[in-house]
Amino acid sequence: MKKRILSRKLSSRPRYNRVRRAAMGFTLIELLVVVLIMAVVLGVIGACLAAGIRVWDEAGKFGVAESDAVVGLQIIEKDLKNSVPFHAIVFEGKRSDVSFASLVVPVRQGLRNEGGSVAQPRIGTVRYFFDAGGMALFRSQDIYGADFAQARTPERIMSNLRDVSLAYYGLVGGKGNGAWSDQWVDPTNRPVAVRISLSFRDREALLTKTVVLPMSDSVVP
């Protein structure tokens, strides 16, 4: 009888120990492991959030003025790529003002004629000039040989500009080494390339683009 009672007590001890251990909670090692896992997870989440915040801040810095400038530079590049040598329209370049012969679409026709056919571009004068008081860059075009009514009122293509600087790359005597200048004074020739530099009113960033004119095989530095 005593042996049976003793065996029952011994068999009940492991179960009692398991219940007592569950009531005591986690051990120190288990808590440290949980804390370590949580720290790793929070670190990964924090790194992802920090990267997202940095991207958001950079996108916020790229404002409306910079977006307009990118579009405006594409318009200038298109006009310069469409420029042609024409005896009646000389290339005139200054630091903040440039005019040249280019292929343009008549204002009244727009992209299509009255019959629905695509309007053919014509040779005209394209001019870009910077208004320092209004902090804006304007574009105008005049069709060669058209009356005054065909002239287009200058349109603003960039705003919030602190300064616009134009430079012209040309060859000395038509050959040899070239050089950059803030003016183009040769009425019988065109520059090899034009460099446009923009500075903004609210930022220190400088946006620069170099456009090589057509029918030019020269290497521009």
pLDDT in tens, the chain (221 residues): 555 554 555 455 555 455 455 555 668 788 888 889 999 888 888 888 887 777 666 656 556 667 788 889 999 999 999 998 888 999 999 999 999 999 988 765 444 445 555 668 889 999 999 999 999 999 999 888 776 545 568 999 998 899 999 999 987 555 556 889 999 988 888 999 999 999 988 777 788 999 999 875 444 55
Query: Is 176 a domain residue?
Result: yes
Q: DSSP string spanning 112-146?
A: B-TTSPBPPPEEEEEEEEEETTTTEEEEEEEETT-
pTM over 0.75: no
Query: Is 57 a domain residue?
Result: no
Query: What pairing do the DSSP bridges indicate for beta strands 178-181 and 193-200?
Result: unpaired
In terms of C-beta density within 10 A (0-12 exposed, 13-18 middle, 19 or more buried), how is residue 198 classed?
buried
Q: What is the DSSP letter of 87?
A: T
Query: What pairing do the DSSP bridges indicate for beta strands 155-158 and 161-171?
Result: unpaired
Query: Is 68 a domain residue?
Result: no
Query: Is 188 a domain residue?
Result: yes
Domain total in the chain: 1
Query: Is 177 a domain residue?
Result: yes
Domain with 89, as residue range(s), is: 85-108+119-212
Strand order through the sheet with 155-158: 92-93, 97-104, 122-131, 136-143, 155-158
Query: Is 29 a domain residue?
Result: no
Query: Is 16 a domain residue?
Result: no
Neighbours of 68 (CB within 10 A): 18
Q: Compute the half-sphere exposure of residue 55: CA atoms within 13 Å on the CB side of its CA.
A: 6
Instruction: For residues 80 and 169, give the distance between their C-alpha atoms in angstroms, rounded to a whole number.
Output: 14
Four-point Cα dihedral 137, 138, 139, 140, nearest 10? -160
Query: Is 131 a domain residue?
Result: yes
